[in-house]
Amino acid sequence: MIIIIISLIGLIILFSLATILFFQPRWFLKSVIKIAPGVIYFFETNDPIVAITIDDSPHPKTTPKILEVLAKYKVYATFFIIGERVLGNETIINYILENGHEIGNHLMKDEKSIELDINEFEVQLLKANSTLITLLNQYNTTIKEPQFHRINWFRPGGGWYNSKMIEVAKKHGYKSVLGSIFPYDTHISSSQFASYQILLNLRPGAIIILHDSGKDSISGEWGEQTIQTLETILPEIKRRGYRTVTLSEMLELER
């Protein structure tokens, strides 16, 4: 009897955990924010707006295709750039900016930020910042919004962070952001699953996380999946009356 009760408790715990992981409810995210403050997971608004963010850009093959899909549906996104991938892909990033999208700091390498020594973390943050600012300064076309002349947003690699990291990012003028809808696109190779999970959890003020590139920065499997996912979700998001904006635009609208 005791074994049965323990088994039932275990099943309830597993079911509860699976539910939280799939639905990523805001009450849970609010609890996380209370425990580990300083990171934005979603915006408090009743307006039908959502932000799409693309991590691990740029990629020479997949990023242009992602931009084509975004242009097709006339929506804007925030691309989190890995600093070491800028060289040789400057034209792609210029195209991101020319089309009204925003870029954010995703450090120099695709690695878990929390595993870095705090001094090394700051070095990586500032090196990536310098790389992106240099690119912006060389960009002579008129940018759509004034706030795009600087880099506003930082997203920790791997999604894990500590208070010291957030303090360092804030010291250098960054707002740290994760998201409220993560369809596990780096773990589950299914555009169908990602699309279903995103649309099921869509709420005003949501921040959606998708990925460009791939596991080894050369392959583009994550980016290819994101292209398919965007083709599915963007028309449905529009049909539901939502508008897709950059993080900075959503921040302005929230005020």
Active site members:
55, 211
The upper half-sphere exposure of residue 199, i.e. CA atoms within 13 Å in the direction of its Cβ, equals 19
Please tell me the distance from the alpha carbon of residue 108 to that of residue 86, in angstroms, as a whole number. 9
Residue in 214, 252, 250 with CA at minimum distance from that of residue 61: 214
Within 10 angstroms of residue 125's Cβ, the number of other Cβ atoms is 24
Residue in 82, 86, 130, 134 with CA at minimum distance from that of residue 109: 82
CB 62 within 8 A of CB 212: yes
Question: Which secondary structure element, helix H or strand E, spans residue 39, and what is its range?
Answer: strand 39-40
